[in-house]
Amino acid sequence: MEQKCVFCAIVNKQIPASIIYEDEKVLAFLDINPLTEGHTLVIPKNHAENIFDISEENLKHISIVAQKIANKMKEVMHAEGVNLIQASGQAADQQVSHFHLHIIPRKNTDQLGLHEYWISKIQKAEPDKLSELAEKLRIEKIEEVTKEEDKPKERERSKEEIFWIKRRMQLT
Ligand code: ZN
């Protein structure tokens, strides 16, 4: 436990929270300043600051818990979508220095405007620069994740997906 860490204090039940999931590794609770109703945070119980130092095991576990919570939001709140947002580091606007994954339930009518914000900020990228950067960033294949069951399944894209893919291509 880190001194003065507000999320460690929640883990240790020194600060109350509206907990929706708890096990040995992970805690999920409602954000007290929600962007939409049901906005949830999933955190590891062991203090890790961000994506750079959280254990693989905890990160995997958080992903699984996030999926269950997203499904539950769909089921009981009739969420029509969710955003998963994670900020690592001050430059990325991380406010609490204990890893947390935001799960933000969305409705078609909620007017949160994330996409409008996104569109207002996107830049044009030079194809040559993209190739150069991809070369620099490329990482080795992770054997563990390429098991048969984990391979992405072929599926048809919906009309809406095609619309957004085309729109993105026009914008870049
Ligand atoms: Zn902490």
pLDDT in tens, 1-35: 677 999 999 999 999 999 999 999 999 999 999 99
Q: What percent of the chain has pLDDT over 90?
A: 80
Q: What spacing in Å lies between the alpha carbon of 55 and ligand 1's midpoint?
A: 14
CB 38 within 8 A of CB 24: no
Report if residue 126 sits inside a domain: yes
Q: What spacing in Å lies between the alpha carbon of 7 and ligand 1's midpoint?
A: 5
**What backbone torsions phi and psi does residue 158 show, to the nearest 5 degrees?**
-75, 165
Residues with CB under 5 A from ligand 1 (ion): 2, 5, 7-8, 47, 98
Report if residue 26 sits inside a domain: yes
- pTM, rounded to two decimals: 0.82
Beta-sheet strand order (sheet of 40-44) = 19-22, 26-30, 40-44, 101-106, 81-86
Report if residue 37 sits inside a domain: yes
What pLDDT is stored for residue 154 in this prediction? Answer: 62
Q: What percent of the chain has pLDDT over 70?
A: 90
Domain count, the chain: 1
Say whether 169 sits in a helix, a strand or coil: helix
In 3D, which of 165, 5, 15 has the Cα closest to residue 100?
5
Report if residue 86 sits inside a domain: yes
What pLDDT is stored for residue 115 in this prediction? Answer: 93
Which residue numbers are catalytic?
A: 100
Report if residue 21 sits inside a domain: yes
Report if residue 128 sits inside a domain: yes
If the chain, 172 residues long, is cut into consecutive pieces of 10 residues, what is the mean pLDDT of each piece? 89 97 98 97 98 97 98 98 98 98 97 94 95 96 69 66 73 56
Q: What spacing in Å lies between the alpha carbon of 6 and ligand 1's midpoint?
A: 6
Report if residue 1 sits inside a domain: no
Residues spanned by the domain of 99: 6-171
Question: Looking at residue 143, which CATH number applies to its domain?
Answer: 3.30.428.10
d(CA 150, CA 57): 17
Report if residue 76 sits inside a domain: yes
